[in-house]
Amino acid sequence: MSDREVIRIPAMRRSVLFTATLLAVAATPVAADSPLTDKLTAAGDQYESQVIEWRRWFHANPELSNQEFETAEKVSAELKAMGLKPERDYGGTGVVAMIEGGLPGPIVALRADMDALPVKEEVDLPFASKAMGDYRGQSVPVMHACGHDTHMAMLLGAARALVDVRESLPGSVMLIFQPAEEGVAGGVVAGAERMLAEGLFEGRKPAAVFGLHTFSGVPAKMVAYRSGPAMASSDRFVIKVRGKQTHGSRPWGGIDPIVVASQIIMGVQTIASRQVDVTKAPSVVSFGIVNGGIRNNIIPDEVYLEGTIRNFDMGIREQIHAKVRKTAIAIADSAGATADVTIDLGYPVTINDPALTERMLPTVARVVGEGNLIESPLITGAEDFSYYALQTPGMFLFLGGTPPDRDPFSAPSNHSPLFYVDESTLKVGVNILTNLVADYLHQAQQTQSRVTR
C-alpha cells in the first residue's frame, strides 16, 4: 500500500470536476465478522452476472428525474420476484421495500437513486442508451451518466443476497429506490426531501442509513470515504439590480446598474474570504450568470446576477446567506439603486456520522481489502442523501468505477457523455452493502445481549 494515492473525484451534480489527493487508510482495524459474512460473500459471487444484467437494462432504459416510470416498474417487478412487497407511496416514482429479519433488532436503510441525465451517450456499448425524454419542454437524449444505473443494480443484488439470509437477520432492512436525485427545475420538492416529507421514516425510522456512489475518478474496486462533512450544501442565489436607464453619454442622468452589479460581485467575494471563519469550514460563493443591457450606448434599467453557494457547515451556511443579502442590498442602496435577493435552498451538507463511520469502516476495509480503502477530501459537489443523514446517522461512500488499465485523471467524469463504469466494481458494491447491514445488525444484537444479561 502506497502512502499517497492521487486521484480525481468528480462531483455528481452540475458536471463539476474536483481533483484531489486521497490519503490511504493505514492500519484500519478489522471488524469482527458477522456469522453471515461467508454466505453474503458467496452470494455476491453467485449473483454477479444477474447484477450486471440488471445494470445493463437500467443503462439502456434511462429516465429523467420524476419520470422514472418504467424504471420503477422494473424495480418493483424484481423485488416482487424476491418475495418482497414493494411500496409505491413515496416520491412519486419511488419504490420502497422491507426485508423483515427473522430475529428482533433495529432497521437499517440502504438507498439507491434512480434518475438519469439529459445527456447524449457517446460510449460504444451494445447496451448504450438511445432513449429520449422531456426536459424543460424539449425532447432530449437521456443517459445514465452518473452511475445511478449501477446503484439500482447493486441494491437489487444486495436485496437478493439479504433475502437469502433473512431468517438469520437480527433486524430489518429498508430498501429505498429514490427518484430525482439530480433535482428538478422550479424549486419543486423532490427526491429524498419529498420521500421523507411524505412519511418514509414515520413509524419505522432506521437506526442507520447507508449509500454509495460510483465515480469515474476513483479506480475500480477501491472505496473513498470521509468522516463528518463530506459533500457540500448547494444553494442557488439570484440578485436583480435595478437602476435607472439613461444614455451612455450621460451616465449622470440615471443610475447605472452595471457598475452597481460589479461592485456587488466584488463585495460578495469578500464574504468567504473575509467575513466567515475559514478555519471552521471552507465555503465557495461563485457567480455564473451576469446579464444586463442590449446596446453599447444605453445604460439599462436592470442587471441580472445568478450564482451558487457551497459550504460544509450548516451554521455558516445561514451566515453566508444573510451576508449575501446584506451586502447586495447595502451596496445597491449606497448608489441609489435597489437589489432584490432570492436564495433557493438546495441540498444540505452531506454529513457522515463520525461514530457510525468509525464503527463501520472496518467492515468496508475487510470487504475491499488492504490498500483499497482511502480517505476522501471535502467534495464541493452536493448529494440529496444529505436529507436522510439529517434524520438518522448516515454513511455515504464513493465506489471507484475507472477500469484498472485507465488513468483516473484522464477518465471521462460523471455527467460526461463518455462516462463509463467498469462492471467488475459492482460485486464489490453489493458486498459492501450486505456486509454493512449484517455487521451493523450483528453488533446491535451483541450490544443488546450484553445490556440484558
Ordered by start, the domain boundaries in the chain are 4-231+349-451, 233-344
Least confident interval from 4-18, 335-349, 352-366, 396-410 = 4-18
pLDDT per position as a tens digit, 127-157: 999 999 999 899 999 999 999 999 999 999 9
Which class is 233-344 in CATH?
alpha beta
pLDDT given for residue 408 in this prediction: 80
Res. 3 pLDDT band, cuts 50 70 90:
very low
pLDDT per position as a tens digit, 214-241: 998 899 999 999 999 999 999 999 999 9
pLDDT per position as a tens digit, 54-99: 999 999 999 999 999 999 999 999 999 999 999 999 999 999 999 9
* pTM of structure: 0.90
pLDDT given for residue 180 in this prediction: 97
CA distances from 339 to 122, 163, 188, 269, 380 (A): 43, 57, 25, 17, 28
Q: Is 247 exposed, middle or buried (0-12, 13-18, 19+ CB in 10 A)?
A: exposed
pLDDT given for residue 362 in this prediction: 96
4-231+349-451 is classed in which CATH architecture?
3-Layer(aba) Sandwich (3.40)
Nearest to 413 by CA among 117, 1, 24, 114: 117
CA distances from 401 to 43, 123, 176, 270 (A): 21, 15, 22, 38
Share of the chain above pLDDT 70, in %: 92
Kindly state the cell numbers that stand for 251.
451616465
- 62: three-class secondary structure by DSSP: coil
Helix locations, 165-276, DSSP H: 191-197, 257-270
Q: Please, which residues have CB within 8 angstroms of residue 170's CB and are 6 or more apart in sequence?
A: 101, 103, 104, 105, 441, 442, 444, 445
Mean pLDDT of 37-44: 94
pLDDT given for residue 32 in this prediction: 57
Q: What average pLDDT does the structure give for the chain?
A: 92
List, by residue number, the catalytic residues.
Answer: 347, 423
Residue 437's CB: how many other CB atoms inside 10 A?
A: 29
Nearest to 206 by CA among 399, 382, 441, 432: 441
Q: Please, which residues have CB within 8 angstroms of residue 451's CB and are 6 or more apart in sequence?
A: none
Mean pLDDT of 327-355: 97
How far apart are the C-alpha atoms of 84 and 96, rounded to whole Å? 10
pLDDT given for residue 447 in this prediction: 84
pLDDT per position as a tens digit, 396-426: 999 999 998 888 878 999 999 999 999 999 9
Q: Is the pLDDT of residue 451 over 70?
A: no
pLDDT given for residue 17 in this prediction: 31
Res. 27 pLDDT band, cuts 50 70 90:
very low
Res. 453 pLDDT band, cuts 50 70 90:
low
Q: Which of residues 29 and 301 earns the better pLDDT score?
A: 301
Torsion of CA 398, 119, 159, 434, to 10 degrees: -10
Q: Is 355 left (phi over 0), alpha (psi -120 to 50) or beta?
A: alpha
How far apart are the C-alpha atoms of 23 and 6, rounded to whole Å? 8
Q: Residue 421 in contact with residue 401, Cβ under 8 Å? A: yes
pLDDT given for residue 245 in this prediction: 97
Query: What is the β-pairing status of strands 19-24 and 4-8?
Result: antiparallel
pLDDT given for residue 7 in this prediction: 37
Q: Residue 239 in contact with residue 422, Cβ under 8 Å? A: no
Centroid of chain to Cα 95: 18
pLDDT given for residue 452 in this prediction: 64
